């Protein structure tokens, strides 16, 4: 069974940093692209970033480009999101999600399944 378990969320002041982790199990992690998607009551679901299975390709939403960095450690089956220069509008539940189909170099944006989410609150 595929399992994705996020951690690292919490309360951080504006301008601060946080690193989210997503521990994966139940599939060959290195052969699937992975993504981060966030959700707020006001803005709904927003794709944040994706990385190919090999880690060689990354995509970012304009809203986080230059501030967030996605990475992965395939030896640890773990996905990361380093979030710097955090703003109030980054407050959200952050989900990691696996791509539906295999492909070490491909990123398709078909999110299945998703982890349970971790809450990030940016506030002074």
46 touches another protein (CB under 8 A):
yes
- Binding positions for another protein, 47-66, rule CB under 8 A: 47, 50, 59, 61-62
Interacting span for another protein (CB under 8 A) from 11-19, 25-33, 80-88, 104-112:
104-112
Nearer to another protein (CB atom), residue 9 or residue 113? 113
9 touches another protein (CB under 8 A):
no
Between CA 24 and CA 73 the distance in angstroms is 11
Between CA 6 and CA 119 the distance in angstroms is 10
Between CA 111 and CA 105 the distance in angstroms is 16
2 touches another protein (CB under 8 A):
no
Nearer to another protein (CB atom), residue 16 or residue 109? 109
Between CA 101 and CA 18 the distance in angstroms is 29
Q: Is 1 exposed, middle or buried (0-12, 13-18, 19+ CB in 10 A)?
A: exposed
Q: Site residues (CB under 8 A) for another protein? A: 44-47, 50, 59, 61-62, 95, 100, 108-117
């Amino acid at each position: 069974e595929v399992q994705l378990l996020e951690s690292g969320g919490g309360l951080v002041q504006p301008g601060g940093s946080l690193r989210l982790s997503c521990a994966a199990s139940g599939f060959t992690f290195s052969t699937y692209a992975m993504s981060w998607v966030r959700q707020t009551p006001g803005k709904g679901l927003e794709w944040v970033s994706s990385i190919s299975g090999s880690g060689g390709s990354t995509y970012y939403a304009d809203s986080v480009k230059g501030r967030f960095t996605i990475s992965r450690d395939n030896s640890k089956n773990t996905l990361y999101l380093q979030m710097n220069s955090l703003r109030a509008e980054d407050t959200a539940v952050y989900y990691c999600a696996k791509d539906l189909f295999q492909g070490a170099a491909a990123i398709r944006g078909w999110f299945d399944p998703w982890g349970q989410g971790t809450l990030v609150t940016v506030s002074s």
